[in-house]
Structure 1
Amino acid sequence: MRDLSPEDAQAVDRLAFHLLREAYCDLAGVMMRANAEAARTVLGTIEQRLTDTLGRFHSETAEGAASTAIVIAVGDRIGDVMDEAQNRTGAGASALRRAADPRS
């Protein structure tokens, strides 16, 4: 990111995440209204791919000593988006957080 301070680069990341979250939730809503069973299959596949990617990221310790904390934090954030997109709460909440936590 050319000519951006670290704070501005973080603002870019926050805005990009917010926009992607909104788009994903909107898309999930449209899919659920069109065909709930197919939507759950597609969204479940996406969630599994993300879980697998986080697992690989952790096993490669791509971020050094902080890899475990980073994987857990990312799993929490993405899990929140998955739950919001599919209107899941409580016991039905995303398994992504649990799967992303290598301590479990």
Structure 2
Amino acid sequence: MKDLSPEDAQAVDRLAFHLLREAYCDLAGVMMTANAAAARTVLSTIEQRLTDTLGRFHSETAEGAASTAIVIAVGDKIGDVMDEAQNRNAAPSARKRTADLRR
């Protein structure tokens, strides 16, 4: 991506995120149709691993002074994808756990 402008690099990130979100939601849908209980277990495990990784980034301040804000924003965005993939309309659990980092 060396030859891309910062704006184009951001467009690459947006498109990549969009494609990953679509693929994850499609996969979740197929898994839920095949075996809902197993799908919930797998999706819950993935969600927990992502939450753990965000927690590590937060504790290590891996992104510098803005680490907390970055982790919260990423957690919110990933939480939205997890909720969409699992058709959850209730309070998003990933977002709740990320919000705990604000304390």
Match of 1:97 in 2: 95
TM-score using structure 1 length: 0.95
Match of 1:15 in 2: 15
Match of 2:57 in 1: 57
Q: Give the C-alpha shift of residue 13 in structure 1.
A: 0.1
Pairwise mapping of residues 4-83 of structure 1 onto structure 2 (< 5 A)?
A: 4-83=4-83
* 5+ residue gaps, structure 1: none
Q: CA RMSD in A?
A: 0.9
List structure 1 segments (4+ residues) > 6 angstroms apart after TM superposition.
Answer: none
Deviations 1:4-47 (A, max 9, x none): 00000000000000000000000000000000000000000000
The separation in 1 between residues aligned to 2:26 and 2:35, in whole angstroms, is: 14
The separation in 2 between residues aligned to 1:67 and 1:36, in whole angstroms, is: 36
* 5+ residue gaps, structure 2: none
Report the AA paired with residue 77 of structure 2: R
Identity of aligned residues (%): 84
The separation in 2 between residues aligned to 1:55 and 1:88, in whole angstroms, is: 23
State how many pairs are aligned: 102
The separation in 1 between residues aligned to 2:97 and 2:49, in whole angstroms, is: 11
